[in-house]
Amino acid sequence: MNGNAHIKAVYAEIRRRNQGEVEFHQAAAEVLDSLGPALDRHPEYAGTGILERLCEPERQLIFRVPWVDDSGTVRVNRGFRVEFNSALGPYKGGLRFHPSVNLGIVKFLGFEQIFKNALTGMGIGGGKGGSDFDPKGRSDAEIMRFCQSFMTELYRHLGEHTDVPAGDIGVGAREIGYLFGQYKRITNRYESGVLTGKPVAWGGSHVRTEATGYGAVYFAEAMLATRGDGFHGRRVVVSGSGNVAVYAVEKVHALGGRVVACSDSSGYVVDEDGIDLGLLKDVKEVRGARISVYAEAKPSARFSARGTVYDVPCDVALPCATQNELGREDAVALVKNGVIAVAEGANMPCTPDAMAVFQEAGVLFGPGKAANAGGVATSALEMRQNAARDSWTFEETEARLASVMREVHAECRATAEAYGGNPEDYVLGANAAGFLRVARAMTAQGVV
Ligand code: NDP
């Protein structure tokens, strides 16, 4: 851990008070590691407990989610919502349904969300939630009953001015629909802005589905542009094949790049002709099949159950699957094969070791809290449309997303240069810029 004695003491206290929450420790260390220069320049934040308060969620909810499966058996899952920081606006952050979900994972995601949301400049606080419920293989009726039970507890903590969840891994438009329906029934309010990621037909925003993937590609494009480069003619690998990954592939292709590999948790496919987006969407979004089915349908593609997409030579890598999926060895392989830029579509996909490898090699590296901020930024645009009972066109919404991503990129660069001297240190830039916005608001609002 870098930084002054104060930062080290805060980190030691995080580890002591949150034992076993390894992902939260990792996320906190990454941010705290960057804050030395900002705290040196702003000693006023040292005496007001800003760091201590930032690292302690305002509220943490853990609740039972009982539901009945199709065979009549009662199942019990655990629900979480961590309302981390509301200095800049209502808590905002997605819900993740995945068997790996635990308090440490929800806290790491909620902590990241504070800085990411601050970076968007859109007046949203940080939070995250989810459940260890595994939606894989569950019927539509089971998903609905689970969502209804989850919301039967969570509704009392939500509100368009209080806490506004969205989707994440395992939670898409279908789940948001069931959650919204139950919220509306319990509260007797059609409160459109209480959840984002709704279908466009009833209060959702155009481009929300595409936003995180598109945004990550816009961010990578902005990084490349600083070196007079772009996606045109570039080889790209994308990990995952879920919401973020699919739309990252779509935007890379639109910009003239060629995505040659993508994955899911069962393995990866390489397609030197370029990933066929129509086929990928059919396999993953329509059929809900394993990624190997893509290779079975396309002669130019091969499937591998071993290794990762990072074994495939590329110019740009976009990790869009899950936390800690890209380790030191993957980073070394990417650098050896000549990667020039890495932008995190997922949250914390690169381990600290991997980040160090990229930094040492001079690879352009966009951390998730900046590179994947397009999703939550478009959620904030959805909230604006809901508040105004308005609906913007796809083109207008995408133009706003692109502009937010350019601003986030510029802010990271300017802050990195001002506080560390190296404009390409996007990690320092994102962490310090997000921190300063939240710290200013927290200071003005007193010790609460
Ligand atoms: P999805 O559930 O739609 O997709 C996740 C994808 O990652 C699936 O293809 C999944 O495969 C794959 N995956 C999971 N674990 C691994 C692994 N170990 N190796 C390879 N592939 C894996 O989730 P999203 O696309 O929504 O989210 C992906 C990431 O982006 C998460 O980190 C999320 O927090 C982050 N994010 C998402 C936002 C959004 O708007 N959706 C916003 C900002 C960040 P399988 O189906 O086999 O499990």
C-alpha–C-alpha distance, residues 308 and 349, integer Å: 13
C-alpha–C-alpha distance, residues 136 and 288, integer Å: 9
Q: Is the dihedral of CA 25, 375, 322, 83 positive or negative?
A: positive
Any atom of ligand 1 within 6 Å of the Cβ of 321 = yes
| Pairing mode, strands 91-97 and 125-131 | parallel
Protein residue whose Cα sits closest to atom 28 of ligand 1 = 321
Mean pLDDT of the chain: 97
Any atom of ligand 1 within 6 Å of the Cβ of 346 = yes
Contact 117, 376 (CB under 8 A): yes
Any atom of ligand 1 within 6 Å of the Cβ of 240 = yes
C-alpha–C-alpha distance, residues 293 and 269, integer Å: 10
If one counts every other C-beta atom within 10 angstroms of the C-beta of residue 376, the result is: 27
320 Cα: distance to centroid of ligand 1 (angstroms) = 6
Q: Kindly report, residue by residue over 349-373, the tens digit of the pLDDT.
A: 999 999 999 999 999 999 999 999 9
Ligand 1: which of 268, 291, 310, 322 to mutate, most ligand atoms within 8 Å of CB? 322
Domain limits, CATH 3.40.50.10860, in the chain: 57-189
Any atom of ligand 1 within 6 Å of the Cβ of 167 = yes
pLDDT at position 281 is 98
Protein residue whose Cα sits closest to atom 36 of ligand 1 = 346
DSSP 8-class letter at 308: -
Q: Is the dihedral of CA 194, 199, 202, 207 positive or negative?
A: positive
Q: Kindly report, residue by residue over 271-285, the tens digit of the pLDDT.
A: 999 999 999 999 999
C-alpha–C-alpha distance, residues 96 and 170, integer Å: 6
C-alpha–C-alpha distance, residues 79 and 149, integer Å: 10
DSSP 8-class letter at 269: E
C-alpha–C-alpha distance, residues 127 and 129, integer Å: 7
pLDDT at position 46 is 80
Tokens of 306: 């071993």
| Pairing mode, strands 258-264 and 267-271 | antiparallel
Cβ-proximal residues to 392 (8 Å cutoff; 6+ apart), any chain: 205, 206, 381, 385, 400
If one counts every other C-beta atom within 10 angstroms of the C-beta of residue 326, the result is: 30
Domain 211-371 has CATH 3.40.50.720: yes
DSSP 8-class letter at 286: I
Q: Kindly report, residue by residue over 392-416, the tens digit of the pLDDT.
A: 999 999 999 999 999 999 999 999 9
Protein residue whose Cα sits closest to atom 39 of ligand 1 = 168
- pTM for the whole thing? 0.97
Contact 271, 261 (CB under 8 A): yes
244 Cα: distance to centroid of ligand 1 (angstroms) = 7
DSSP 134-170: --TT--HHHHHHHHHHHHHHHGGG-BTTTEEEE-BTT
Ligand 1: which of 138, 198, 243 to mutate, most ligand atoms within 8 Å of CB? 243
44 Cα: distance to centroid of ligand 1 (angstroms) = 39
pLDDT at position 437 is 98
Model confidence at 3: pLDDT above 80: no
Q: Kindly report, residue by residue over 296-351, the tens digit of the pLDDT.
A: 999 999 999 999 999 999 999 999 999 999 999 999 999 999 999 999 999 999 99
Domain limits, CATH 3.40.50.720, in the chain: 211-371
Model confidence at 1: pLDDT above 80: no
Any atom of ligand 1 within 6 Å of the Cβ of 169 = yes
57-189 has which fold? Rossmann fold (3.40.50)
- The residues annotated with a catalytic role in the active site are 128
- The model's confidence at residue 47, banded by pLDDT at 50, 70 and 90, is confident
C-alpha–C-alpha distance, residues 4 and 10, integer Å: 10
